[in-house]
Amino acid sequence: EKESGVTTFFLTHEIDTGDIIQSASVNIESDETAGDLHDKLMNVGASLLVKTVTAISEGNYQEQSQPQSDVLKHAPKIFKAEIEEKEPGIAAGGFLTDGKTFLKFATKDGFIKLLDIQYEGKKRMLIEDFLRGMRL
């Protein structure tokens, strides 16, 4: 892609189908990161929003129907997911738990998530069972 942009539009029942009020586009530079583009679009979008609200309040706008296209597709549904990230502020050797479903020990590079545990001379048990009987 060489270009991206932002659009203001009126909401309808279906996603992204309302009439367009205004839009603005920006060029995507060859060395631009997603974060850079996000920041650029955030600034352009903020300005466009102010212009759109002003235009609506003054009655100085013309709605345009969104073009119908088989090329444009709706974004896929976002499903619940677990994100394993480095938790800030926990030193190596420390642990993180919700007391019910997970127990993670911090390392210098991230975490080790325990799935099961076994005391010496005892049967292995799921971490959930361990946490049910142990207070951390």
pLDDT digits (tens, 9 = 90+) for 45-60: 999 999 999 999 999 9
**Cβ atoms within 10 Å of 95's Cβ, excluding its own:** 13
**Can you give 68-82 as a three-state secondary structure string?**
CCCCCCCCCCCCCCC
- What pLDDT, on a 0 to 100 scale, did the predictor assign at position 14? 77
pTM attached to this predicted model: 0.51
Which tens digits make up the pLDDT trace of 70-129?
666 666 666 666 555 655 667 888 888 888 898 998 888 888 999 988 888 888 899 999
Query: Does the pLDDT value for residue 9 go beyond 80?
Result: yes
Residue in the block written with tokens 């142990």: 134
Rounded CA-CA distance 63/65 in Å is 7
Rounded CA-CA distance 28/33 in Å is 9
Dihedral sign for Cα 80, 85, 87, 90, please: positive
Rounded CA-CA distance 39/99 in Å is 38
